[in-house]
DNA sequence: GCATCACTTAATGCATACATAAATGCATCC
DNA sequence: GGATGCATTTATGTATGCATTAAGTGATGC
């Protein structure tokens, strides 16, 4: 059991208007996404409360939300445990993302995108290109995340965007951890560029196919990596 | 503002081991799904607590969960408001269900189903057939729901099943309310039967296409109905 | 050394109290 | 009649206390 040493974190002034439970939720989630609370490790309500400088009540509310999102499990007397992501879980997650983002791509191409939206997508592609040229994988991954988020938003389905974000967050640590273990994502960015073109050309079938294949390939590689390296605590 | 008159509901013995917050969640959700708390109406924490015979603490936890599921919104000093489902929201919901269930159908056909699983699907189809012959629409809708749930479970993706359930629940009242406004779902059940055959034949593409078209048609009809009848509070 | 039992500790679930601030009601003015 | 200001009421967000019981620890017996 990995117990985090209490470090009291007081709210800054600008945060003071945000309810404590929301602050707790955001902070705990960030700690999980950043792998600062390791997968498989546990944190008691009282520990989190001490660390965040508040009472147990808002902390508990934050933990319930995180449990609802599939990021953690809550067990009486054991606190909040960050759920590790197994290869099988990763495959599940990416199956869902493939279906939903494929639908988003199709929707975006059907609805069409205005010049600003297309420019933003293209800008993300360009930035990925630059990041690859500069061997800056972190920058690449940030632009990649932005691209995917923008794509989903283009579908104009608020529920979809929310679900995709939650599901994607579950795999975040796995992506981060394997970032330097993967081959340089050159063909990945070719897919991105082709997808932008399909959206511009208003070709829903093509957009969907490109993106589903793209997502499937990425998933296969990621799942295989996690399996091959025996990574268990992601 | 529609205020529900407090009726105290004490837990039965078999429920006593279920935490109060879980009981509150289930009860409130059922009230929403059954349209006993009307869309658009509000219920204060204290009202719900009085009605459920517990303190505000577990009630609040239940409400936070329901908010996370997109069933309600919580506003300080206004309590929990059941979110109405507009035609646009319905379209969003069904787009998501179409993508996810289409993926489930493809997955089920790819993995294959054992004889028990196939029999269960076929049994649901048969029961829908009987219900149609007996003009028992409620029975039909229950068998229909069962069919869809079983289909999604066949994909063997636990996260998928959970997401589909949540998204589907958001549209539950709309389905219930329009049940008798829709034409008799004869062709719907033909789709179901064809899907079972595609799964049995292990034809993923066909399964996916059948089911996506089925879902799309159902969505179009439902959305049009809600629009045409000017139904706002679903 | 291992299993069992009794006792103690402590983490959660929940109830209650308190502080804050939004909503409401009322009086006054134009 | 409508707008404004002020006082009062009240619903939430949170802190704290209490009851329950699971988990941990130590002693004992085989």
Both tokens of B30, joined, read 């059922």
Cα(B211)–Cα(B102) distance, integer angstroms:
6
Q: Residue ranges per domain, chain A?
A: 13-82, 87-228
Interchain CB contact of B70 with A (< 8 Å): yes
Q: What is the pLDDT of residue B11?
A: 46
Q: Which CATH architecture has domain A13-82?
A: Orthogonal Bundle (1.10)
Cα(A25)–Cα(A10) distance, integer angstroms:
15
Q: What is the pLDDT of residue A8?
A: 45
**Number of Cβ atoms within 10 Å of the Cβ of B214:** 22
Residue pair A205/A106 in contact by the 8 Å Cβ criterion: yes
Both tokens of A5, joined, read 């040493």
Task: State which H helix or E strand residue A215 sits in.
Answer: helix A204-228
Both tokens of B99, joined, read 């993508």
Q: A103, B95: Cβ pair inside 8 Å?
A: yes
The interface pTM score, or ipTM, of the predicted complex is 0.89
Q: What is the pLDDT of residue B13?
A: 46
The answer to whether B55 CB is within 7 Å of strand C is: yes
Backbone dihedral angles phi then psi of residue B78, each to the nearest 5 degrees:
-120, -5
Q: What is the pLDDT of residue B65?
A: 97
Across the 234 residues of chain B, what is the mean pLDDT of every consecutive 10-residue run? 38 65 96 94 95 96 97 94 94 97 97 94 96 94 96 96 97 91 86 96 96 95 90 72
User: From the CA of A160, how many Å to the nearest CA of chain B?
Assistant: 7
* C-alpha neighbours within 13 Å on the C-beta side of residue A85: 29
Cα(A234)–Cα(A82) distance, integer angstroms:
9
Residue pair A98/A212 in contact by the 8 Å Cβ criterion: yes
Residue pair A183/A140 in contact by the 8 Å Cβ criterion: no
Residues of A in contact with B159 (CB under 8 A): 70, 89, 92-93, 96, 167, 170
Q: What is the pLDDT of residue B184?
A: 81
Closest CA to A126 of A41, A223, A196, A74: A196
**Number of Cβ atoms within 10 Å of the Cβ of B76:** 6
Residue of chain A nearest B93, judged by CA positions: A159
What value does the CA radius of gyration of chain A take, rounded to a whole number of Å?
Answer: 19
Q: What is the pLDDT of residue B183?
A: 84
Q: B102, A107: Cβ pair inside 8 Å?
A: no
Closest CA to B1 of B41, B34, B32, B59: B41
End-to-end CA distance of chain A: 16
* Neighbouring residues of A26: CB distance < 8 A, sequence distance ≥ 6: none
Q: What is the pLDDT of residue A16?
A: 54
Across the 234 residues of chain A, what is the mean pLDDT of every consecutive 10-residue run? 38 65 97 93 95 96 97 94 94 97 97 94 96 94 96 96 97 91 86 96 96 95 89 72
Q: B160, A92: Cβ pair inside 8 Å?
A: yes
Cα(B58)–Cα(A14) distance, integer angstroms:
30
The answer to whether B20 CB is within 7 Å of strand C is: yes
Both tokens of B68, joined, read 């996370």
Residues of B in contact with A107 (CB under 8 A): 95
Q: A163, B160: Cβ pair inside 8 Å?
A: no
Q: Which nucleotides of chain D does any protein CB come within 7 A of?
A: 11-17, 22-23
Residue pair B193/B53 in contact by the 8 Å Cβ criterion: no
Exposure string of B109-133, with b = 16+ CB inside 10 Å and e = fewer, is beeebeeebbebbbebbebbbebbe
Interchain CB contact of A199 with B (< 8 Å): no
User: From the CA of B156, how many Å to the nearest CA of chain A?
Assistant: 9
- Where helices occur in A155-203 by DSSP H, the ranges are 158-170, 172-178, 186-200
Closest CA to A24 of A49, A5, A44, A47: A49
Q: B68, A70: Cβ pair inside 8 Å?
A: no
Q: B98, A103: Cβ pair inside 8 Å?
A: yes
Q: B92, A157: Cβ pair inside 8 Å?
A: yes
Closest CA to B234 of B74, B70, B40: B40
| pLDDT tens digits, one per residue of A68-81 | 999 999 999 999 99
CB-to-strand D under 7 Å, chain B 48-77: 56-57, 60, 74, 76-77
DSSP bridge pairs for B81: B42, B73
Residue identified by tokens 């953690």 is A72
Cα(A89)–Cα(A87) distance, integer angstroms:
5
- Among B64, B69, B103, select the one facing A64 at the smallest CB separation: B64
Q: How far is the CA of A77 from the C1' of D26 (A)?
A: 21
Both tokens of A9, joined, read 């974190």
Residue of chain A nearest B95, judged by CA positions: A103
Q: Which CATH architecture has domain B87-228?
A: Up-down Bundle (1.20)
Task: State which H helix or E strand residue B189 sits in.
Answer: helix B186-200
Residues of A in contact with B99 (CB under 8 A): 99-100, 102-103
| pLDDT tens digits, one per residue of A34-64 | 999 999 999 999 999 999 999 999 999 999 9
Closest CA to B45 of B84, B22, B77: B77
């Amino acid at each position: 059991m990995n117990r985090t040493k209490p470090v009291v974190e007081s709210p800054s002034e600008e945060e003071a208007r945000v309810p404590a439970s929301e602050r707790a939720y955001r902070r705990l989630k960030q700690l999980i996404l950043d792998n600062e609370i390791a997968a498989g490790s546990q944190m008691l309500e009282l520990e989190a409360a001490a660390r965040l400088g508040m009472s147990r009540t808002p902390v508990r509310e934050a933990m319930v939300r995180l449990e609802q999102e599939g990021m953690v499990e809550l067990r009486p007397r054991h606190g909040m445990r960050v759920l590790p992501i197994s290869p099988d879980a990763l495959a599940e997650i990416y199956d869902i993302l493939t279906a939903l983002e494929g639908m988003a791509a199709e929707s975006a191409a059907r609805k069409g995108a205005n010049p600003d939206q297309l420019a933003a997508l293209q800008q993300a592609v360009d930035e990925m290109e630059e990041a690859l040229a500069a061997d800056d994988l972190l920058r690449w991954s940030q632009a990649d995340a932005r691209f995917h988020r923008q794509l989903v938003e283009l579908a104009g389905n608020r529920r979809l965007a929310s679900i995709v974000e939650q599901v994607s967050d579950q795999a975040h640590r796995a992506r981060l951890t394997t970032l330097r273990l993967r081959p340089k994502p050159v063909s990945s960015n070719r897919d991105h560029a082709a997808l932008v073109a399909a959206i511009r050309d208003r070709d829903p079938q093509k957009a969907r196919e490109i993106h589903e294949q793209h997502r499937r390939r990425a998933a296969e590689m990621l799942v295989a990596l996690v399996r091959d390296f025996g990574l268990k605590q992601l």
